[in-house]
């Protein structure tokens, strides 16, 4: 794992943007695996600024997202589909039909997971962006998810529900389940870019980088990826 430590969140976002821009410019038909959460927001801001000032085109880019809350429609303001549209897609020249995410309102969970697995097979990702849960989760793969997992529905842990409650008006509004891309599929991306910011990620960053590779810490699997970059700000990297 290549590790880049930055002085703050702004520099983290700028460095992440350099990696993402390189991917998009070197292959205008690239498939980007994208992530939600607050950590990638700075990177998305840089991508939008760059599109506005330099016209970097996303006209042929396709994206696949990691996860979606179960029960939320794509127009629900807390859904990840809405998040991606508002924070990135609607500001770029990307085709909405080239952006993929699980359908949170799918009635048949198995069929929806099957659909997404097939889609991921057909669209190998050039880069997979990841955030990091404070308990070491990646996407919504919570501790003890098998490394061989494909797309599945998870029961979110209390810890994750609490962490994500800050984005809802009340903790009782946070969905208890989500669809998530599996760990096996995350690992299939040609390159992985994982971002970690702030003090509450310090233990997870330490365990991911220096801990043993174990399903108890899903992000520790990234030690096995041949082309993974971690960009962490000083606080998140404080235990390294
Ligand atoms: C959620 C998402 C993850 C994300 C994590 C961290 O659980 N499913 O993909 O990495 O939150 O979020 P944040 O970047 O806001 O700390």
Q: In angstroms, rounded to a whole number, what is the distance separating the alpha carbons of residues 87 and 91?
A: 8
Chain center to CA of 208:
16
pTM of the model: 0.97
Is it the case that residue 20 has pLDDT exceeding 90? Answer: yes
How close is the Cα of 40 to the center of ligand 1, in Å? Answer: 9
Is it the case that residue 21 has pLDDT exceeding 90? Answer: yes
Residues 130-159 pLDDT 10s: 999 999 999 999 999 999 999 999 999 999
Give me the residues paired with residue 180 across strands.
67, 152
How close is the Cα of 146 to the center of ligand 1, in Å? Answer: 19
Q: In angstroms, rounded to a whole number, what is the distance separating the alpha carbons of residues 221 and 239?
A: 19
Residues 75-133 pLDDT 10s: 999 999 999 999 999 999 999 999 999 999 999 999 999 999 999 999 999 999 999 99
Question: Model confidence at 167, in pLDDT bands (50, 70, 90)?
Answer: confident
3-state helix, strand, coil split of the chain in percent (to 5) is 40, 20, 40
Q: Tell me, what DSSP letter sits at residue 221?
A: G
DSSP letters for 226-240: TTEEEEEETTTTTT-
**Residue 142 annotated to the active site:** yes
Read off the tokens for 127. Answer: 């880069």
Looking at residue 184, what is its pLDDT?
A: 98
Degrees, nearest 5: CA angle 170-141-2: 115
Mean pLDDT of 169-188: 96
């Amino acid at each position: 794992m290549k590790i880049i430590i930055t002085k703050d969140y702004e520099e983290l976002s700028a460095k992440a943007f350099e990696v993402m821009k390189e991917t998009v410019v070197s292959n205008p038909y690239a498939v980007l695996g994208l992530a939600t959460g607050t950590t990638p927001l700075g990177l998305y801001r840089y991508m939008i600024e760059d599109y506005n000032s330099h016209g970097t085109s996303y006209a042929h880019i396709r994206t696949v997202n990691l996860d979606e809350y179960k029960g939320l429609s794509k127009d629900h303001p807390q859904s990840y589909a809405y998040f991606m549209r508002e924070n990135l897609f609607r500001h770029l020249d990307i085709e909405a039909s080239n952006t993929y995410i699980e359908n949170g309102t799918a009635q048949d969970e198995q069929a929806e997971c099957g659909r997404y697995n097939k889609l991921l097979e057909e669209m190998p990702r050039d880069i997979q962006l990841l955030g990091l849960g404070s308990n070491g989760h990646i996407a919504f793969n919570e501790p003890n998810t098998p490394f061989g997992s494909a797309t599945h529905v998870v029961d979110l842990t209390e810890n994750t529900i609490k962490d994500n409650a800050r984005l809802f008006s009340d903790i009782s509004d946070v969905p208890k389940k989500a669809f998530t891309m599996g760990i096996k599929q995350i690992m299939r991306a040609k390159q992985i870019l994982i971002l970690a910011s702030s003090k509450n990620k310090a233990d997870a960053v330490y365990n991911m980088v220096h801990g043993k590779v174990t399903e108890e810490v899903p992000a520790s699997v990234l030690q096995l990826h041949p082309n993974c970059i971690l960009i962490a700000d000083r606080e998140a990297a404080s235990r390294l």
